[in-house]
């Protein structure tokens, strides 16, 4: 079943982000989301070559791990979960697609054709596929055939320069279920502004060719309302949000302001759930990115965050949090609240 076609418009998705959108963060984001404000989540990207390799397999499968807690929350809220994969060989996409469909319970598979990182581009994968459009189409077709799941693509608007018409037109020929257009070229990395006119161009192209591929716009969506406005102006069926959740971890909730207590509660939940799911399997230092996300926009956040950054394990982390909570209890809340 192609769930993409059944989503309300505009729909919102949390972007796949390496070392960020693991099962724990997805669980938190989904549990803070207001009803109907978040429809699709993605895993971190997993190499199909690694997945199919005897030794590599163990190193990469954590990216597809879904906890029972996350599964329950997604189910109760009707949020879809898509596995993102990357590679360069259609045969491997066929085999990996087949195994993922058999062994896991994802609603779809997404192919990364956007990652600009040099060492990956050198492997002719991800954004490098923009330079080999025939191979890109073969990869989509092989993944569809192997998995039988809805297959989507996340990509950019060109490699060195903008070539939306050619590149998105090429992808549409094999009718992916959805295309996320991150409106920057490979060369731009994360710099400059996303050019949303290229999202509009992709939608118009899709319409003129009469395809039913959903088009998601991505790049610099700063708030839920901003995404909603962008969908109206640039006609995107869906919006994908990445770094917007760093600025506001309750991006998909109804709240404009997260009180310090709520931020700290979210931080504590994250620390505890991360420990439950990953202790001994992933480095504690991965959490440091999240300290920056949760601990800001309130009084004394800078020193609290600095203290957290010096911690080396869960016990030390929790101790610093509890000490800060004790100090906070002594201050009236209107003095500590800064609008986000
Ligand atoms: C820390 C980080 C990790 C990312 N990892 C991935 C990834 O694994 N797969 C992917 O397709 N894009 C990845 N991206 C790109 C985002 O999905 C998104 O396209 C980009 O951040 C632009 O959207 P934004 O302006 O809303 O952040 C990553 C971005 C960040 C900041």
Tens digit of pLDDT at every position of the chain (340 positions): 899 999 999 999 999 999 999 999 999 999 999 999 999 999 999 999 999 999 999 999 999 999 999 999 999 999 999 999 999 999 999 999 999 999 999 999 999 999 999 999 999 999 999 999 999 999 999 999 999 999 999 999 999 999 999 999 999 999 999 999 999 999 999 999 999 999 999 999 999 999 999 999 999 999 999 999 999 999 999 999 999 999 999 999 998 778 888 999 999 999 999 999 999 999 999 999 999 999 998 889 999 999 999 999 999 999 999 999 998 777 655 544 544 4
> Which of 242, 288, 293 to mutate for ligand 1's pocket (most ligand atoms within 8 Å of CB)?
242
**What tokens does 71 get?**
């599964």
Q: Which residues line ligand 1 (CB under 6 A)?
A: 15-18, 20, 44-45, 84, 112, 114-115, 154, 182, 218-221, 241-244
pLDDT given for residue 258 in this prediction: 84
Provide the H-helix boundaries in the chain.
23-32, 48-52, 56-60, 68-77, 90-103, 118-121, 133-147, 164-172, 197-209, 224-234, 244-247, 260-278, 288-294, 301-309, 314-329
- The protein residue whose alpha carbon is closest to atom 13 in ligand 1 is 17
Three-state DSSP state, 215: strand
The per-residue pLDDT for range 306-318, each reduced to its tens digit, is 999 999 999 999 9
Ligand 1 centre and the CA of 21: distance in Å? Answer: 10
- The protein residue whose alpha carbon is closest to atom 31 in ligand 1 is 243
Separation between Cα atoms, residue 209 and residue 172, nearest integer Å: 9
- The protein residue whose alpha carbon is closest to atom 9 in ligand 1 is 16
The per-residue pLDDT for range 46-101, each reduced to its tens digit, is 999 999 999 999 999 999 999 999 999 999 999 999 999 999 999 999 999 999 99
**What tokens does 330 get?**
């002594």
**Are residues 297 and 266 in contact, defined by beta-carbon separation less than 8 angstroms?**
no
Q: Which of 159, 173, 110 is nearest to 130 (CA)?
A: 159
- The protein residue whose alpha carbon is closest to atom 1 in ligand 1 is 17
Atom of ligand 1 nearest to the CA of 180: 19
Ligand 1 centre and the CA of 20: distance in Å? Answer: 9
CATH number of 7-247: 3.20.20.70
Residue 126 appears among annotated catalytic residues: no
Ligand 1 centre and the CA of 273: distance in Å? Answer: 23
Ligand 1 centre and the CA of 24: distance in Å? Answer: 17
Domain-by-domain residue ranges, the chain? 7-247, 260-335
pTM: 0.95
Atom of ligand 1 nearest to the CA of 110: 11
Separation between Cα atoms, residue 159 and residue 48, nearest integer Å: 22
**Are residues 150 and 179 in contact, defined by beta-carbon separation less than 8 angstroms?**
no
Which of 115, 149, 240, 245 is labelled catalytic?
A: 115
Atom of ligand 1 nearest to the CA of 114: 11
């Amino acid at each position: 079943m192609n769930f993409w076609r059944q989503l309300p418009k505009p729909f919102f998705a949390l972007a796949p982000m390496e070392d960020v959108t693991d099962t724990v963060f997805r669980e938190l984001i989904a549990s803070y989301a207001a009803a109907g404000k978040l429809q699709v989540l993605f895993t971190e990207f997993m190499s199909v070559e690694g997945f199919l390799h005897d030794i590599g397999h163990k190193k990469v499968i954590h990216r597809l791990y879904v906890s029972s807690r996350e599964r329950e929350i997604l189910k109760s809220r009707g949020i879809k979960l898509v596995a993102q994969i990357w590679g360069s060989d259609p045969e491997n996409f066929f085999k990996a697609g087949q195994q993922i469909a058999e062994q896991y319970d994802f609603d779809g598979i997404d192919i990364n054709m956007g990652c600009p990182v040099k060492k990956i581009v050198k492997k002719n994968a991800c954004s490098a596929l923009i330079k080999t459009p025939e191979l890109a189409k073969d990869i989509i077709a092989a993944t569809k055939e192997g998995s039988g799941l809805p297959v989507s693509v996340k990509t950019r608007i060109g490699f060195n320069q903008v070539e939306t018409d050619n590149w998105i037109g090429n992808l549409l020929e094999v009718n992916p279920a959805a295309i996320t257009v991150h409106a920057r070229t490979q060369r731009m990395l994360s710099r400059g502004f996303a050019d949303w006119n290229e999202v509009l161009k992709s939608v118009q192209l899709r319409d003129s060719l009469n395809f039913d591929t959903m088009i998601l716009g991505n790049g610099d969506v700063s708030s839920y309302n901003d995404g909603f406005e962008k969908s109206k102006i640039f006609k995107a069926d869906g919006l994908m949000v990445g770094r917007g959740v760093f600025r506001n971890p309750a991006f998909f909730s109804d709240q404009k302001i997260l009180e310090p207590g709520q931020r700290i509660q979210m931080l504590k939940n994250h620390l505890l759930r991360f420990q439950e799911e990953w202790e001994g399997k992933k480095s504690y230092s991965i959490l440091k990115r999240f300290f920056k996300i949760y601990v800001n926009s309130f009084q004394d956040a800078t020193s609290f965050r600095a203290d957290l950054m010096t911690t080396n394990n869960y016990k030390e982390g929790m101790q610093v949090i509890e000490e800060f909570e004790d100090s906070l209890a002594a201050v009236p809340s209107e003095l500590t609240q800064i609008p986000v």
